[in-house]
Structures are given as C-alpha cells and as structure tokens.
Structure 1
Amino acid sequence: SMASASGGFAMAKYWGDEKHPDAVYAVYLRKVRYVPPAGYEGVPRYRPLDPDKQPLSSEMAAAAAAAGGTTDHLQWESVKERHIKAGTLDKLVECLIGPDNVMDSRHFQVLFATYRAFAKPFEVLERLQRRYSTMEEEAGASTQALVTQNSIRSILVCWLDMYPEDFYATDDDFVILSKLVEFASKFRLVELRSKAMKLRQHFKGVKADGGLMARVSSLDQQAIKFGYENPDVVENAGERAKQFDVSMGNCVQIAEQLTYWDATLFKEVIMHQCQSSVWSRRHKLGAERYYTVKATIDQFNAVSQRVMTSVVLPECKPDFRAKIITKWIEIAKELRAFKNFSSLKAVLSSLQSEPIHRLKAVWSLVPPKSLATFRELSAIFDSDDSGDEKRILDAEGTAKSSPLRRPQLIQNCRRTKSDVNLAECQGTVPYLGSFLTDLTMIDNATPDYTEDGLINFEKREKEFEVLAKLRLLQSAARAYRMPRDAAFCAWFHYLPTMSDKECYTRSAEVERLPASSTPQPGIGGVSKSQTIGRLFPLSSRGSGGAGGGTVAGATGGGESPTLARALPGQTSRDSGIHSDEADGMNGCSLRGQSLTAPSTPINSVSWKGGRSTFYHSGRAGTSSSSDFNPLLSSSSA
C-alpha cells in the first residue's frame, strides 16, 4: 500500500523572495513528516520511493519489496512552497492552478474576494478562458493538460456559485454571462453552461423587479408591505405620538427585533463591498457598488437618530427624560446579551452624542446602577487598546450561545416560541464600522502596486484576513431564531427623527447654554461618540433618515420652535401602538405629555390559550380600541 504525507506539518519558515519580471514569490520551507500505512511494522516513518530519484540498491529494494512497498525509509523532509506576493494580472490568474495542476483553494479564496480592486470580472474571465483554450490541443495527449482544464472548469463553477453578483449587469443581454454560455457550449461543458443560463435567466427577473438593490430587505419596506403606510396612520401620527413607554417590561422585545433586522441585513452584506477600494470611493462609484453595506449603515443611522430624538424631543420634566435614557441603557444591555454589537453601538453612540451628553441635570437623575452599566458597555468600543470589542468577538463571535443570556431575562416579558429558541441558540452581529475602519487603514498604509508596477497581492492577503472574519461572523448570524414582528416595524418606522443639528438645537432649549460658552455640536462631547453615521455620513441623513423627517408645521402657545417642527404636519413616524401602562405616566407634557412615540409596541397579550397580537388604532379624542389583526401575529405559543 502507498503511504501519504500526514497532517503533522510543522510551521513553514520563510526562506526568501524569488523575483521574476512578472511576479515576486515568497518561498517557505515546510517540514513534512511521513507516516507508514496500517500494518507496516518495523519502520516508524517512511516515504514511498520517488520514481524520479536514484533507485535503491538491490538489497534495499528487495527488503522494501518484502515489507510490502518500495521505500527509502525517509522520516521527513523540507519541501519548498511558493506563495505569490506580487504579480501581473496574468500571473495572479495563472496561480489559481497549483504546481500539481489542481486548483489552489487558498489562492482562489483570496483572489476572488479582493480582485475587484485591480481588475474587472470580464478581464479575469477572459484569461481563464484563454488558458483553457490553449490546453485543448494538449488535452488528448497529456493527462496534465486534462487535469488543468478540469481545474479551470471547477474555478468557473465555484465563481458562479460564490460570487454571482459579479456577472450582473445593467444591460439587457448580460454580455459576460452570454460569453460564458458561448464558451461552455463550444467546449461542451454541460454543468457550467446550465449554471450560466440559469443565472442569466434569474438576473433578467431581478432586473425587471428593480435590480439587485431592490432585493435588500429593509424595515421601512416591511412597514409599507403590511399596510401601515396609509392616510389614516400618517394623518394621525402626530396625535398618536404622545407617550413614551418607559416601563422596562419590553426591553427584551425591542432588542430582539433590532437584532432580527441587524442580522437580516448583515447576512446580506457582500464582503467585497466592504473593501476600501469600494467603500472609500462610494460617492464616485454609485450606490449600486456598495448597496448591501449601505443598507446596514442606513439601519445603524436610523437607530441612532431615533434614540437621540426620543431623548431630546419631548416636552417633559428632567426625571422623565432620565427614565427615557435609563430605558435605552437597559435595551443596550439586552443588545449586548443578544451579541448584537451593531445596534448596541448605535444606542451607546447616541447617548454619548453632544445633544444628550450635555444634559447634565438629566444625567444626574439616572440611577447609579444604570450609569455603571452604561460605562461598562461603552468600554467595549473604546478606541484605545483597552477596548474589548475584538476580544469579545474572538471569544463569543462564532459561539451559538451567549454567556450573558440568562433565563430570568425572559421571565418578565412576553413568552413566545422565539424566546425559547433565543435561550438555546444565538448568533452574532458585529459593528461593521470597526471592520470598515480596519480595511481603510490597510488601504491607506499599503500601496496598490510595487515599485516595478506589479499588483501588490500581499495587500489583498491582509484585506482577506479581515473579510474572512466577517464571513465567519456572517455564518454565525444565521444561528439566530426569531420571528419578525410586524407591529415593531410600524412602531420603528413612525418614530420621529431629527438631524444632529436639530437635536443639538433642541437640546439647547431643554437645558440652556451658559452665557459664557457657546459650544457647537460635536465639540467638547464624549470622544467615543464617533458613530458610523458620523464617520461615514450619507446624504439621506439629516432629513429624516430611513423613514423619519421633519416637516414644517405650526403649533400654538409657547412650544419650542424645534418641537413645533416635529409635531402634526410632519411625518412623525409613530405607529400609534402603546401600552396601557404608558397612559398613566406622569411628569411629561406637551401641555402635559411627551411627544415621542412609545418605545415598543406592547402588542403581546399572554393568555392560557396562547398569544394574541393586537394593533392599537385609537384616534385623537377617542380611547384606543384593540382590534385583533392577524397581520401582526409573529409566532404562536
């Protein structure tokens, strides 16, 4: 029987660089140990005789034959391995096939995850097709040529499966896919031809439905889909946005639904859209080049603006405003337990922002325990080396449970099937801004090309390490098991939002500035308040974001001008869903009452027979009536 090299490979050692006009290779020496087959006794380590080397003496050969094989009794040896560091596009594509004429899976992963920074899909496809064609004449007489062709076919199939968006085009004919179909037909590659034709047909349907961007889910789309965007709701949104439910019983529900949407959007992120070559040039390239990342950023900004607005907008006493902050801290704690670092960062950044940070009288009324929790959670995202974000992701990122999930978290809130699932199986949603920053730093610190004009592939290796971590976390996010709550979509969609500048103006009205100081928004605040929205602002922010906005309206009396802009006549973004408990809250008034929306739809009523979901659709001047709406049922007991 034949032996094989074992998995006991020692760490490869760097030997040096090997330079060529069209490529630079890093050469490594790897120690390979050889393991005897089962039943081979007497020699602890051996290697099959290399037929290209000098044969053994007749005595040794006879002894080896008697033992069951031809061996040179070599226990281990050092073998050279070459990894391309820089090269032309031709050479990088050529290296997809290893020395053994088989696809180099590692090089495939790195190249196809990052090549868009220096080449277009049709350029890579053209080179693969050309190499396949040159092998056609040799394939009949050479086994190696046939193996190479099979490897190229495997590369093309894997490319179609793993990166189908590379073949999408705005033209009607999808030229690159048509060329691939033509190529596959010419060389009778049945599987490749079938996949390419199916993908082309699929993309035609996608284009007819509005393109790839239209297929990305969003919370606002769901609110519209379930019929909440109707004249009655919009007309009475301002009237219904008069209570902020500061009770703590629904914090888990809010955190759960924010996690549902963050996980949904994160799972749709196309990794190469995070590359700095795309992200840092997004304003020039257009939204279609980074639409999956943009959807995640839009959701982050939507959460951030709603948290900030919910604190500064109400006309209420400081103690009630402190309760609003306390509730968001509690929600942040639950987000940490859900391992949702995206909305966690959004909530914390809003509470650290200048419009909220400067409200000293309000913060003095926040309970010490909540302040301690706030400081502990904020430390996760410290920009210095003491930040725990990377350590936590390394320790918990791919685990299917959270050390912070405790059974008692769910005891005092609604009991649903999703609660049971969450206690058992759980994913992770990272803060994407940290990874975008890492990729930007790599891009800024490393040149795209060497001094000789070769593509710097070492840079792409570094980028791939970051993208690979993101892909791993993407897989972990699939572990979440929670239903979508349509009532939450409506509530979140209609929450009022104001821009950073408007929030600061309103904050100055809540607590007057000292006469001796005139600070500006974003100056003198907490240094950690750099949110992803502020680092990477999008044009939609500041005018309502993802579903919010301020429209001029008139209100009488002594109300503040900022508050007046957010009252009836605006798109108030409140679903009108509120809890009975909230109706009895004191200390908050627009003439006595808060103008922000409830912090969650209390749409779950537990009965012995199961869970019913209600939509509160009371109009101004009348009491709310609860009518059962099957559209809002997200699960059953």
Structure 2
Amino acid sequence: YHVTLKRVQIQQAASKGARWLGIERDQLPPDHTVSQHETCKIRSIKAGTLEKLVENLLTAFGDNDFNYINIFLSTYRGFATTKEVLELILDRYGNLEISNCEDDRSQNSTENKTVLRTAIASILRAWLDQCSEDFREPPDYLCLQKLLAYLTRVMPGSVLEGRAQNLLEQFQKQEVMNGGIHDTLANEEKLETENSEDFSSFAEDFVAEQLTYMDAELFKRLVPYHCLGSIWSQRSKKENNHLALTIRATIAQFNAVTQCVIRTILNDKELKTQQRAKIIEKWIDIAHECRILKNFSSLRAIVSALQSNSIYRLKKCWASVAKDSMLMFEELSEIFSDRDNYLISRELLMREGTSKFANLDSSVKENQKRTQRRLQLQKDMGIMQGTVPYLGTFLTDLTMLDAALQNYVEVGFHKKMYEFEVIAQIKLLQSSCNSYCMTSDRRFIQWFRKQPELTEEER
C-alpha cells in the first residue's frame, strides 16, 4: 500500500468569544465559527496479486472508495480476463452468503451476509453499466450466463437481474442483425447510383460532415480497454488477429481518409498544375471544416496526407496554392506539432477550443479568429457537437505506460491509476460524440469506399 496523510475537516465549532457568550454553533453565521481539522492516514493500493485486488473490491465498497472500483473495472483486462475476475467474485465470495454453516444463525452473520450481498451487487451493477462490452462473448456469452444464473439464484427479480437479462438479449439481437457501422456502409455501397460522382461535386463542409459522421460512429463503438498497452501491443502476433477490432476499424478509417486525399490529387495524370493545386486547396478547406467540427481524426489524416512525400514533392503545385490556403495549412499543421510531446494538440483536445500561437503571421491569427467566431456562433445557436480525437495519441500514451511500468509477480496498481486517467478521457470524448446530429449520405459513402489505393509506383 501507499500511505499518505490528508488534512480533513471534522467539525465547525463556535469561536471562543461565542462560547463565552453562551451561544451555540448552529446559532451563528459561518463567519463566527471556527473550523477544526485533523490529519488522517489514507491508504491506497500500490500492488497486489489478482486475488488480493479482487478482494479489495469488496473492502473498497465498504470504505466508499469508489475510485478504486472504477480504476479496477476500467483496467483489469490488461492483466486478467472477465472469466477470472467473475469467478473470483462469485465462486469465492458469492457462495459464502448461501453456505450453511453453524454460524449462519447468529445476528452478526446475517448482517455480514447482507453487507456482502450489497457490496457484490453494487460492484456487478457498476461492471454492467460501465464495461458492458466485457460480457460480449458470442455466441454462448458464458460469463453473462454465469452472472445471470447467480443473480437468479441469489437476487431473483432484482433490477440487477433484469439489467443482465436485457444486456444478454441486446447482444444476441445485435449478433443476429450483424450490426456495426461497417455493415451499414457495406450495405450502402451496394446501392448503385446512376451517375458516378466526382470529388469536385462535393462541397467542402459536406465532405467534412460525412467524414465526421463516419469517424464519430466508429469512435462511439470503440471498446476503451482495447487501447490498453498490454492489449494493443500484442496485436502483431499471428494468433491475435482478432484482438482490438474496434481500434483496427478506427485505424482503417484513418488510413482510408489519407489514401483518399492522395488519390484525388495524384490519380489523374492529365491534371494541370493549377488544377492539382485547386484540389490541394479544397482538402485544406475540408481540413479546416473538420477543425470546426472538432474532428481531429480526419483533420490529422488530411494533414498527414498533404505532408506525405508523394504530395510534398509537388513543388510547382504548392507554389500555385493560394497564400491564404497555405497559411491555413500551416496553422492546421502546427496543431499536430511534435514539440513537447504534442502539447498543443493535447491541450486543444482537452479544452475543445482553438489554440493560440503568438509567433504566427497576422493572417493566420485572422483564420483563428474566424474559426473562433464559427464555434461561438454554433454555441450561441444551441448547436451541440462532440469531439472526435486522434486515437494515436492515446494509444502511444498507454503503450509507453505499459512499457515503462512492467508488471512482475504482482500487478502494479499505481500504473493502473495512470491508465485509468487516459481511459476516462476516452470515455468522456465518446460520450460527447452523441451530440453530433448528422446522417450519412449514400452518394458520398459509395464514392469514398470505392476509392482505390494507389501503389508505391503510382505515387
């Protein structure tokens, strides 16, 4: 354990003068009372075996340490499986309350059982509410079935039993429907249009909205624990092809946006320099619209594509790009500068506002003011929107955390606290994506999905 000292207020007493007058504390305004404090010891887990960490879940509930419970549930998949944790809770502690030992008749035993049942129910409720994806194990859903059997036996007719039953039915229904954004998009691809669409026919704000729609849908479906370094770092092994599918889908979308930018600029060999420059300007405007929509995923993808060697080497085209567009591109590129561990993009993402660069050209500052006015106008009109982050930053942080603080015999729970902070940020941003009010456009989805990837030689 870590043991720290914390100064806490225990009560407010009447001042010496008030006591001399015989006036009680509750008869005086706050400015006539004196706060009394004491120093107490705060104990927090530093490291422990899986069995002890699970045991501490019940202790934490009794101590009202809900922070420990949240950290454990958000990060345990890095060192244990759902099956292992559930068995420890139900088999080791859940069966104690239905055992038939001689002490069961005592009042203390009855009270202890009630406390234990309440603690287990609260932990299971938090597990189902916060990390329901842990129980998505098609086709048999063995862990969820085991949990349901326990609740039916020990807590029949309870709200928790109904929650578990509804979750099982929801998973089974989604499995039958083969739900998911990629299935929806695949169905939309099958719908043929009479005329093939051209990139020039799509308005910049329209393209940004469609990219944001796709990115937000994928990000909302992301399973946060897939981002843990101990899980994501294992993706390259051949037997782990099924691992972290929600992250793979997000990365595939990011790469598709990057390839789309490169293809629209390079694919047509007959384009003149000015025409190619106009396409570059169009993508810069689209990137700016993504910035307005707080879609940092597609924004980063577009900027990365324009900075790639195959596009950067087009010196004549870049020389023909309008000055305002170039200044805008420099501003957007600065957001993802790697200085100070990507400090600018991190701060920008967390406060969801526009960044400020004191050393930039006045025209760039004017672009920032324009962006700020657009964001403020949306706020004044009551238009709610979310934020789609660039996931690579979180993956890098969690992978570095895992590599820097390796586990040995015991699980280093102090590392889990840092991981939980990152996971909590991801969940917060996922929740914000529900504020987007967008619909997919069949024409654009079909055009976007049909863009072929250029080979190295074609670039």
Shift of 1:144: 4.6
- Contact in 2 for aligned 1:103/1:151 (Cα 8 Å): no
Counterparts of 1:421 and 1:493 in 2: how far apart (Å)? Answer: 36
The residue that corresponds to 1:427 in the other structure is 386
1:380 is matched with which residue: 335, 356, 363?
335
How far residue 481 of structure 1 moved from its aligned partner, in angstroms, is 2.2
Equivalence for 1:131: 93
Superposed counterparts of 1:203-214, under 5 Å:
203-209=171-177, 214=178
- Code of the residue aligned with 2:256 in structure 1: it is A
The one-letter amino acid paired with 1:77 is E
| 1:169 aligns with one of 111, 119, 137 | 137
Shift of 1:244: 4.3
Residue pair 1:102, 1:147 contacting (<8 A) in 2 also: no
Give the structure with the higher percent helix: 2
Q: Is the 8 A contact 2:61 2:119 kept in 1?
A: no
1:482 Cα deviation after fit: 2.5
Alignment equivalent of 1:364, drawn from 300, 303, 319: 319
Tell me how far apart the structure 1 counterparts of residues 265 and 376 of structure 2 sit (CA, whole Å): 25
- Distance in 2, matches of 1:505 and 1:112, equals 48
Following superposition of structure 1 onto structure 2, how do residues 99-178 of structure 1 map, counting pairs within 5 Å? 101-102=62-63, 104-129=65-90, 130-135=92-97, 140-142=107-109, 143-172=111-140, 174-178=141-145
Q: Does 1:306 align with 2:260?
A: yes
Pick from 269, 272, 296 the counterpart of residue 222 of structure 2: 269
Contact 2:18 2:24 in 1 (8 A): no
In structure 2, the partner of 1:7 is none
For residues 107-158 of structure 1, give each alpha carbon's deviation from its aligned partner in whole angstroms, at most 9, with x where no partner exists: 1111111111111112111221222333556684253542232011111122
TM-score (norm 2): 0.83
* Greater RCO, 1 or 2 (C-alpha within 8 Å, sep 6+): 2
Tell me the percent identity. 37
Classify 1:182/1:425 alpha carbon distance in 2 versus 1 (closer, same or farther; 3 Å).
closer
Structure 1 residue 484 displacement after superposition: 2.7
Q: What are the within-5 Å matches in structure 2 for residues 146-295 of structure 1?
A: 146-172=114-140, 174-191=141-158, 192-209=160-177, 214-218=178-182, 221-226=183-188, 228-229=189-190, 240=196, 243-245=198-200, 250-284=203-237, 286-295=240-249
CA distance in 2, matches of 1:409, 1:34: 45
SS of 1:478's partner is: helix
- In structure 1, what residue type is equivalent to 2:120? I
Question: Are 1:457 and 2:424 counterparts?
Answer: no
Is 1:443–2:402 an aligned residue pair?
yes
Describe the shift of the 1:100–1:118 C-alpha distance in structure 2 as closer, same or farther (beyond 3 A): closer
8 Å contact from structure 1 (residues 45, 74) kept in 2: no
Specify whether residues 464 and 422 from structure 1 end up closer, same or farther in structure 2 by C-alpha distance, changes over 3 A only.
farther
Query: CA contact under 8 A between 2:292 and 2:374: conserved in structure 1?
Result: no
- Counterpart of 1:289 in 2: which secondary structure? coil
* Shift in Å, 1:340: 0.7
Instruction: Select which of 344, 362, 366 maps to 2:299.
Output: 344
Aligned to 1:29, the other structure's residue is in SS state strand
Q: C-alpha offsets along residues 196-239 of structure 1, whole Å, 9 cap, x if unaligned?
A: 33333333333444xxxx42213xx445534x525x65xx88xx
**DSSP-derived class of the 1:215 partner:** coil
Residues in 1 aligned to 2:18 and 2:6: alpha-carbon distance in whole angstroms: 17
* 1:182 partner SS: helix
Distance 1:295 1:33 in 2: 50
Answering whether residue 2 of structure 2 is matched by residue 31 of structure 1, we say no
| Residue matched to 1:531 | none
Equivalent pair of 2:297/2:389 in contact (CA under 8 Å): yes
Query: Aligned residue for 1:474?
Result: 430
The code of the aligned residue for 1:133 comes to N
Q: Any idea what the Cα deviations from partners look like across 1:306-355, whole Å, max 9, x if unmatched? A: 11111111121111111111110111111111111000001011111111
Q: Distance in 2 between matches of 1:334 and 1:313?
A: 24
Partner of 2:357: none
SS in 2 for 1:425: coil
Number of aligned residue pairs: give it: 426
Paired with 1:44 and 1:475, the residues of 2 have a C-alpha distance of 53
CA contact (8 A) 2:60 2:68 kept: no
By how many angstroms is 1:467 displaced? 1.0
Q: Which runs of 5 or more residues in structure 2 are unaligned?
A: 28-33, 355-368
Counterpart of 1:323 in structure 2 is 278
| Residues 290 and 298 in structure 2, CA contact (< 8 A), matched pair in contact too | yes
| SS of match in other structure, 2:339 | coil
Q: Which runs of 5+ in 1 are unaligned?
A: 1-24, 47-62, 411-418, 508-637
> 1:76 Cα shift?
1.1
Q: 1:244 to 1:289 in 2, by over 3 A?
A: closer
- SS at 2:57 equivalent: coil
